[in-house]
């Protein structure tokens, strides 16, 4: 499931549930639709309610990173529970996606 809120140039996308192949495809479509708003310069993924993520989720995130980078924007992530954080580390996502403070994103 995808919930979003926008504040100026910042789009916070809160994900929930399990991000496997089927869920990642659906999320990809929803997020791409949100990114049609070319005013968005910062995309922040909130993983607080994600219970599981596999390589399909990693691919979905990297694709949105490429979208944002192509428009001169950036991507951040917050709410990384240990299993998701470990996957971020193994996939090297921490090198390209900044870890954000979840509390700060509540006010974004």
Q: What is the pLDDT of residues 21-51, one digit of tens each?
A: 999 999 999 999 999 999 999 999 999 999 9
pLDDT of residue 101: 81
The DSSP code for 97 is S
pTM tops 0.95 = no
CATH superfamily name and code, 2-106:
STAS domain (3.30.750.24)
Quick: pLDDT tens for 48-107.
Answer: 999 999 999 999 999 999 999 999 999 999 999 999 999 999 999 999 999 988 655 555
96 close to 88: Cβ distance less than 8 angstroms: no
83 close to 48: Cβ distance less than 8 angstroms: no
| Angle between helices 55-70 and 82-91 in degrees, nearest 10 | 60
pLDDT of residue 45: 97
Enumerate residues 6+ apart whose C-beta is below 8 A from 28: 60, 63, 64
Q: Cα separation of 55 and 70, whole Å?
A: 22
């Amino acid at each position: 499931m995808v919930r979003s809120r926008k504040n100026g140039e910042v789009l916070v996308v809160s994900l929930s549930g399990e991000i496997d192949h089927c869920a990642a495809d659906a999320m990809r479509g929803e997020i791409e639709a949100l990114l049609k708003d070319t005013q968005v310069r910062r995309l922040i993924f909130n993983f607080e309610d994600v219970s599981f993520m596999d390589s399909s989720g990693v691919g979905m995130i990297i694709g949105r990173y490429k979208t944002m980078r192509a428009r001169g924007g950036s991507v951040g992530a917050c709410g990384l529970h240990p299993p998701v954080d470990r996957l971020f580390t193994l996939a090297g996502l921490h090198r390209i996606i900044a870890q954000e403070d979840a509390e700060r994103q509540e006010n974004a």
